[in-house]
Amino acid sequence: MKKRKRGEARRARVLSSKVLFHGRVFTLKRDRVAEPSGIITTREVIAHPGSVVVLPVLSDGRIVLIRQYRHAAGQYLWELVAGHKEPNETAATGAHRELLEETGYTARRIRKLLEIFPSPGLLGERMDIFLAEGLTKGKAQPEEDEKITQKIVSLREAEKWIRSGKIRDSKSVAGILFYARFVAR
C-alpha cells in the first residue's frame, strides 16, 4: 500500500455540487472540490452507474466480436459485448444479460478480468471486463435501438485488427490485449 504524505486526504472533498443535466444513463454535474493535493477547483463530471464488458471465448479459442453504430464516434465500431449496469444489478449479472442480449450466447462461466476507467478526466464510469466461457449459442435479444452484427475471429486476428486500427474502442482493446497477454494459453 502506498504511504500517504502527511496531511494528504484519500479523496477529494466536494464543497458544492450542481446537477447540470440528468439523463437516462448518466448525470452531468459541476463540483467545487478540495482535491487530495489541497487544490480547490471546479470540475465538470459525468456520473455514470458503470458498465460491464464481456469477452466471449468459444471452446476452440476464437472470440465473438460485435459491430454496431456508435453515434458519439460517428461510425460503426467492432467491439466486445458491453452495456451499462442496471439499478441494483451486480456486474456479473449484467455481464450475463448483455452477452445474451447482444449475441444470443449464454455462458457457464463468467469471471472478472479487470476494471478500467475509460476517461477518468471527466467520466466517473468504471468498466468491469469479464471473460465468458462454456458458451451455448442461442438467439440474440437486442434492445429496440440496437442493430448488431457478429463476427467470430481468432485471438490472433483480433490482435491484428487492433494493430491495424480496425478495432479502436478502448474497452475492447484493453480486454482483448489483457486476455492475450495474461490469460490465453
Q: What is the DSSP annotation of 68-96?
A: EEETTTTEEEEE-EEEEPPTT--HHHHHH
Of the residues 101, 146, 157, 159, which is catalytic? 146
Q: Are strands 13-22 and 27-34 parallel, antiparallel or unpaired?
A: antiparallel
Give residue 12's identity as a one-letter amino acid code. A
Contacts of 106 (CB under 8 A, 6+ apart): 96, 99, 100, 135, 136, 138
**Residue 133 among the catalytic residues:** no
Enter the C-alpha cell of residue 128.
468491469
Pairing state between β 51-56 and 127-136: parallel
CA angle 61, 127, 41 (to 5 degrees): 155
Under a CB-based contact definition with an 8 Å cutoff, are residues 35 and 23 in contact? no
Q: Which residues are catalytic?
A: 146
